[in-house]
Structure 1
Amino acid sequence: MSVQLLLGVILFLLMALVGGKKGVRSFFTLFLNFGVLFFTIILMSIPNVNPILLTIIACIVISCINLFYINGVNRITKTAFFSSMITIVILLLFIVFITEKAMIQGFGEEEIEEIGAFSLFIGVDFIKVAAAVIIMSTIGSITDIAISIASPMRELFQHNPSIDRKELFTFGLEIGRDVLGTDTNTLFFAFFGSYLGLLIWFKDLSYSFGEIVNSKVFGAEMITILCAGIGVALIIPITAWITAYFLVRVEG
């Protein structure tokens, strides 16, 4: 038995024991999401295909898998899905603008040696690809926060139907504040953990602090982290407002 298979079996057993049927569905969503991402990457390599459009479609599919397949189709998952889509569209437009102005698309000088034997004329807009990478990195956290806020708001409304929209919205913001710090730090350490080898490489090459900060690779990662954090912060008021509006309007 290979190490990958052994770890997969352990993960499946733990998710099944802890989460029951929902844990099993969550396990299989890992493979479904991987399939969506893999298929999206293949399509992005085709010339004249818009990576932004592919990213939006992929985010819709991934959000449907994470929300509807795991939690079922109900008012809360619909609210979380709608909130996630609004956040992704806003964030995507912002990221495309920032990526173009900061010129972080493409490859840094540290990567030139590795790709020197290949042609760079592949017919792909690297600005849009860079924006797609950032969005794909945050979609999981965005949908997770959306359902984490919408579900308790629904519970509060069911136990207190007379609550007004403003109080319900404030309650959603309070929940968002509780998860904001942990999710932001999770994104931060996930990105830096994956690029720990790059930081060690900078040290071996005796890069000064100024050279590290101004390097294209490091700058791209920092902008990715900051944009992901913006997305995490943005989803909180959007989900709280939409959920409060929907619950009070429909059920109140």
Structure 2
Amino acid sequence: MFKFKLPQKSDLILVLVTLLLSTLILSLPTGFSEKEGKHSSRVKALVLKTDNSLIVATGIIKTGSQMLQIKILDGKFKGKEISAFNELIGRMEFDKFFSPGDKTLTVLNLSEDESKIISANVIDHYRINLEAFLLFLFVLFLISFAGWTGVKAMLSFLFAGICIWKLLLPGLLNGYSPIPLSLAIVALLTSVIIFLVAGINKKGMVAFLGAMSGIAITCFMALLFGKLFNIHGAIKPFSETLLYSGYSYLNLTEIFLAGIFISSSGAVMDISMDIATAQYEVFQHNKNIHAKQLRHSGFEVGKAVVGTMTTTLLLAYSGGFSALLMVFIAQGTPMINILNLNYVSGEILHTLVGSFGLVLVAPFTAIIGASIYTRKKKI
């Protein structure tokens, strides 16, 4: 049975400050409010019947309209049965196909006085309840295993999501320089996450300084090799759509490069925290240890952690492009052609530059930890 360790006063203060900061950030206006139609409403609905007679199937591609009979499950029209339509455009990545018993997110188009339903458009399968359940299960397991540390980890998880949604993305859309903005957000997240989990102490300071050194190196490498690779940021999915949506002023290339050190920052934090914690435990058991010995211990831990973490990045990035690579292999495309394609080169840049930060954060954290832990207080 896991024991729930009571929090220290400093931990409680830090948690309260993080909660207050999260609430403040959450309340900030982004300038990009959700667009709800003047006379429309989003509801949850149940598919009762389907009519596929207007659908034209060409191989595995379907186009046309799927007619649905649905029952509204919430809102002022709860219980009402109406007809709805689902347009299929022949692109499997965007099309949805419904069967009786499916639950959907549906937009109701209402009359001017909003007393009648004019038409209904089925948007997608309804997944909000399942997503909420999955999040609850994650929180339950995390807190059951890690106790108070799990509570702090969950708070840092939510804080990171809030900062990305309310600060980073709106800032990019508003035209702020992607690199400085992303660095500032990552520095904020790194400080809050590390000090929230490790506490405001030497261990937290070592982990923070080590992580920031790795992130700074990753940023420098991304800028340097991003220019040498001559890759445009439009290679990322939906990037070009932004330009056509009224955001032609966006620097997609800098946004792409910023994404490199943002996506690797979590792994960098993991390594710096692992090494800082390992050195702290060694120092606690032998407070007379020499800085050189403690640094060596950090190096040894770093070697083991980096060995697996680098492969983790490769698997994470390549997994998202497995279908693309399969297409090239099936067509017999020469390997040199594949490796030289801009979007494949972009992922190689992403993986290798991110891995540079992972490799170099280990020795930097070990050096910083040995210096801070063994520093003698002046009397």
Please, what TM-score do these two structures have when normalized by structure 1?
Answer: 0.89
Of the candidates 305, 309, 314, which is equivalent to residue 179 of structure 1?
A: 305
8 Å Cα contact 1:173-1:240 kept in structure 2: yes
Q: Are residue 24 (structure 1) and residue 151 (structure 2) matched? A: yes
> What does 1:182-201 correspond to in 2, within 5 Å?
182-201=308-327
| One-letter identity of the residue aligned with 2:154 | F
For 2:255 and 2:229, locate their aligned partners in 1 and report how far apart those are by CA, in whole Å: 14
| Structure 1 partner of 2:202 | 75
> 1:89-116: per-residue Cα shift (whole Å, max 9, x none)?
22212210110110123224x979x749
For 1:221 and 1:106, locate their aligned partners in 2 and report how far apart those are by CA, in whole Å: 12
| One-letter identity of the residue aligned with 2:324 | L
8 Å Cα contact 2:203-2:276 kept in structure 1: yes
Of the candidates 4, 8, 15, which is equivalent to residue 142 of structure 2?
A: 15
> What does 1:4-153 correspond to in 2, within 5 Å?
4-38=131-165, 39-47=167-175, 49-108=176-235, 115=241, 118=244, 122-153=248-279
Specify whether residues 117 and 79 from structure 1 end up closer, same or farther in structure 2 by C-alpha distance, changes over 3 A only: closer
Paired residues in the alignment total 249
For 2:335 and 2:257, locate their aligned partners in 1 and report how far apart those are by CA, in whole Å: 26
| Structure 1 partner of 2:336 | 210
Q: CA deviation at 1:117?
A: 8.7
For 1:185 and 1:21, locate their aligned partners in 2 and report how far apart those are by CA, in whole Å: 31
| One-letter identity of the residue aligned with 1:2 | N
| One-letter identity of the residue aligned with 2:353 | C
8 Å Cα contact 1:83-1:238 kept in structure 2: yes
For 1:63 and 1:235, locate their aligned partners in 2 and report how far apart those are by CA, in whole Å: 14
| One-letter identity of the residue aligned with 2:227 | E
For 2:373 and 2:344, locate their aligned partners in 1 and report how far apart those are by CA, in whole Å: 44
| One-letter identity of the residue aligned with 1:40 | L
Q: CA deviation at 1:87?
A: 2.2
199-208 vs 154-163, greater mean Cα deviation: 199-208
Please, what TM-score do these two structures have when normalized by structure 2?
Answer: 0.61
Q: CA deviation at 1:25?
A: 2.2
Q: SS of 1:249's equivalent?
A: coil
8 Å Cα contact 1:153-1:243 kept in structure 2: yes
8 Å Cα contact 1:107-1:217 kept in structure 2: no
| One-letter identity of the residue aligned with 2:336 | G
| Structure 2 partner of 1:2 | 129
8 Å Cα contact 1:165-1:248 kept in structure 2: yes
Q: Which runs of 5+ in 2 are unaligned?
A: 1-127
Q: SS of 2:188's equivalent?
A: helix
| Structure 1 partner of 2:295 | 169
> 1:58-86: per-residue Cα shift (whole Å, max 9, x none)?
11111023211222211110111112222
Q: SS of 1:62's equivalent?
A: helix
8 Å Cα contact 2:211-2:272 kept in structure 1: yes
Q: SS of 2:200's equivalent?
A: coil
| One-letter identity of the residue aligned with 1:42 | P
| One-letter identity of the residue aligned with 1:29 | S
Identical-residue share of aligned pairs (%)? 25
8 Å Cα contact 1:99-1:130 kept in structure 2: no
Q: CA deviation at 1:184?
A: 0.9
For 1:224 and 1:46, locate their aligned partners in 2 and report how far apart those are by CA, in whole Å: 25
| One-letter identity of the residue aligned with 1:91 | T
For 2:326 and 2:246, locate their aligned partners in 1 and report how far apart those are by CA, in whole Å: 27
Specify whether residues 99 and 240 from structure 1 end up closer, same or farther in structure 2 by C-alpha distance, changes over 3 A only: same
Q: Are residue 243 (structure 1) and residue 243 (structure 2) matched? A: no
8 Å Cα contact 2:173-2:247 kept in structure 1: no
64-73 vs 197-206, greater mean Cα deviation: 197-206
For 1:142 and 1:246, locate their aligned partners in 2 and report how far apart those are by CA, in whole Å: 20
Q: Which has the higher contact order (CA 8 A, sep 6+)?
A: 1
Q: CA deviation at 1:52?
A: 1.1
| Structure 1 partner of 2:358 | 232
68-77 vs 138-147, greater mean Cα deviation: 68-77
8 Å Cα contact 1:100-1:127 kept in structure 2: no
8 Å Cα contact 2:233-2:254 kept in structure 1: no
| One-letter identity of the residue aligned with 1:160 | N
